[in-house]
Amino acid sequence: MGELMIGLYVFVLAALAGREVITKVPPTLHTPLMSGANAISGIAIVGAIVVAGRAEGTTQMVLGVAAITMATVNVIGGFMVTDRMLSMFRKR
Amino acid sequence: MNADILVELTYLLSAILFVVGLKRLQSPATARGGNALASFAMLLAIIATLVDTDILGWTGILGGVALGGIIGGIAARKVEMTSMPEMVGIFNAFGGGASALVAVAEFLNSPTVGMSTAGVSMLLGTVIGGVTFTGSFVAFAKLKGLITGNPITFPGQNATNGVLVLGTLALGAMTLGVFGGQDPATLFYIFCGLSLLLGVLMVIPIGGADMPVVISLLNSYSGLAASAAGFVIGNMVLIIAGALVGASGLILTQLMCKGMNRSLANVVFGGFGGTAGVDRAQIGKRPVMRADAEAVAAELGYVNSVVVVPGYGLAVAQAQHELRKVGDLLEERGVDVKYAIHPVAGRMPGHMNVLLAEADVSYEKLYDLDEINDDFAKTDAVLIVGANDVVNPAARDPQSVIAGMPILDVDKARRVIVMKRSLSPGFAGIDNDLFYSDKTLMFFGDAKNSMSDLVREVRELA
């Protein structure tokens, strides 16, 4: 089985697992869910590090560093703002 | 055990923790820990990558992380909760942009990749990431009011977009050398430009009221773009994390569409939000019963149960805190107070819940539409603050433009009090019979001032 097929299996199964887990998130937490998911999409930082780390030419370096910067904004900002929101959800 | 296996196992652990972290979002009690777990998973994935990659220069990497971390950290601390949709919008743009740049850089490394798995993944990553990038910026600008929130349309728009999509596909095939040996790098730059243009054109025709759908959809795209980047560099944790975000965004998109009773196609191609076929001149011409703060306080203070329906007008006026004070005072008087929240009450899914949580309303008092609709018949008084379409009984009329939209059945309660600036219509552009009903009292004014007056009057009740 080629790498593409393995990747497709992983993608489809992960999406199904995600669907099972996320359908059960109550509406009251949908905004934190979205900003948390948003932070997770900052996983592109992994790809950005690979690109910038291996870069030999200037173009690749610039693209890689720009990607790292954007992905880090996403990761740090996303997780922090989600935490800030969730800290407000209190039971009285 | 060699280092490679250790790195792979770390990635696996990271993927597991992302799923477990999201699972903990199923309850407000465990959600904060879940978010922390997901951020730990991200840290693991980053460390594994740093160990695994033969890094030639650290300066750029560390500089990028420092700059991004500072921007993200400041934004997360400063942002007002009312501005969360804009924040998520701009973050979607960054996530999509980062994924696109990864794909672009890899393509430029090997422009002659041709028709292959790698080639297709690179172009997919570029186009999905590019569309997410510019589309999210347009959504951000609309939400922020930098450009008009109304649909921007022109004749033949859908046809133009259709041609553009086909053109992008054809250009992608040419870039991969399907039609023979052109210069792939040049073609690729045009392909990038078309991807960015596509993102703009796809979002401008969508109206401000549909932004919850668009934000959710772009959130989904930012995940798919990350997955595509995962295929490009052959990294499973990117594929998995991207798929999770893609699924999450898609679920929220479907829920938002359901909340407005519209199909996704209708939102994306509809240009909804106009007032075609509605006689605006007649709106607000019929007599209503008015009430002042004193009368409203009396209606709320001597009953057993009150349900509050907050709408976006509440958030615009920043009156959440005063509303909570009214709720507290009523509870001190022995009134049972609940909050009924429509799925599209705010500008993004769950937005109103966050605003009320910020104002210190207990999350156990927040009810969604399905949970509360049967309670209205047993409710003494409903207080509607800055909401309109979501309580419009016209949704039950098959002839109405909002026919079939799920609404809060507030007209089944004994008394309805509507706090609103004027009788002007909501996003649907139609009149609301509820306002003219003989059980409805209209309490006109700015939500914040009216709510302050109400706090004072409820305090003065015997």
What pLDDT, on a 0 to 100 scale, did the predictor assign at position B192? 96
Q: Which residues contact A31 (CB under 8 A, 6 or more apart)?
A: A85, B84, B88, B346, B348, B349, B350, B351, B353, B354
Regarding whether B440 and B292 lie in a shared domain, the answer is: yes
Q: Tokens for B73? A: 């950290």
Q: What is the pLDDT of residues B348-360, one digit of tens each?
A: 889 999 999 999 9
What pLDDT, on a 0 to 100 scale, did the predictor assign at position B2? 75
Regarding whether B442 and B300 lie in a shared domain, the answer is: yes
Regarding whether B225 and B358 lie in a shared domain, the answer is: no
Domain that holds residue B203: 79-270
Q: What is the pLDDT of residues B226-284, one digit of tens each?
A: 999 999 999 999 999 999 999 999 999 999 999 888 888 888 776 554 444 455 666 77
Regarding whether B320 and B207 lie in a shared domain, the answer is: no
Cβ contact A50–B223 (<8 Å):
no
Regarding whether B300 and B239 lie in a shared domain, the answer is: no
> Would B265 be classed as within a structural domain?
yes
Give B289's DSSP letter: -
Q: How far A82 CA lies from chain B's nearest CA (Å)?
A: 7
Regarding whether B311 and B258 lie in a shared domain, the answer is: no
> Would B436 be classed as within a structural domain?
yes
- The yes-or-no verdict on residue B293 having pLDDT over 90 is yes
Cβ contact B61–A68 (<8 Å):
yes
Cβ contact B248–A64 (<8 Å):
no
B69: nearest CB among A7, A76, A87: A76
B66: closest chain A residue by CA = A69
pLDDT confidence of B312, banded at 50, 70, 90?
A: confident
Q: Which residues contact B248 (CB under 8 A, 6 or more apart)?
A: A18, A22, A33, A34, A37, B22, B219, B220, B223
What pLDDT, on a 0 to 100 scale, did the predictor assign at position B364? 94
**pTM higher than 0.90:** yes
What pLDDT, on a 0 to 100 scale, did the predictor assign at position B101? 97
* Cα–Cα distance measured from residue B26 to residue B226, given in angstroms and rounded to the nearest whole number: 24
Regarding whether B408 and B264 lie in a shared domain, the answer is: no
Give the total number of structural domains in chain B: 2
CA triple B255-B260-B261, angle to 5 deg: 90
> Would B73 be classed as within a structural domain?
no
Q: What is the pLDDT of residues B3-52, one digit of tens each?
A: 789 999 999 999 999 999 999 999 999 999 999 999 999 999 999 999 98
User: Which chain A residues have a beta carbon less than 8 Å from that of B79?
Assistant: 81
> Would B10 be classed as within a structural domain?
no
Hey, is the C-beta of B12 within 8 angstroms of any chain A C-beta? no
Q: How far A45 CA lies from chain B's nearest CA (Å)?
A: 7
Cβ contact B354–A31 (<8 Å):
yes
> Which of the listed residues B270, B289, B307 is the one where a domain comes to its end?
B270
What pLDDT, on a 0 to 100 scale, did the predictor assign at position B54? 83
> Would B203 be classed as within a structural domain?
yes
Regarding whether B436 and B340 lie in a shared domain, the answer is: yes
Regarding whether B326 and B232 lie in a shared domain, the answer is: no
Regarding whether B174 and B122 lie in a shared domain, the answer is: yes
Chain A residues 21-60 with CB within 8 Å of chain B: 21-56, 59-60
Q: Is B389 a catalytic residue?
A: yes
> Would B58 be classed as within a structural domain?
no
Q: Please tell me the least confidently modeled range out of A75-79, B113-117, B217-221, B452-456.
A: B113-117
Regarding whether B236 and B313 lie in a shared domain, the answer is: no
Q: How far B287 CA lies from chain A's nearest CA (Å)?
A: 37
* Cα–Cα distance measured from residue B289 to residue B221, given in angstroms and rounded to the nearest whole number: 48
Q: For chain A, which residues score pLDDT lower than 70?
A: 1
- The catalytically annotated residue of B54, B279, B370, B389 is B389
> Which of the listed residues B270, B290, B316 is the one where a domain comes to its end?
B270
Q: How far A9 CA lies from chain B's nearest CA (Å)?
A: 10
Average pLDDT, chain B: 91
Cβ contact B240–A91 (<8 Å):
no
What pLDDT, on a 0 to 100 scale, did the predictor assign at position B113? 84
> Would B57 be classed as within a structural domain?
no
Q: In this structure, what CATH number is given to the domain that contains residue B399?
A: 3.40.50.1220
Q: Could you give the percent of chain B with pLDDT greater than 90?
A: 71
> Which of the listed residues B270, B289, B314 is the one where a domain comes to its end?
B270
Regarding whether B234 and B199 lie in a shared domain, the answer is: yes
Complete DSSP assignment for B255-267: HHHHHHT--HHHH
> Would B171 be classed as within a structural domain?
yes
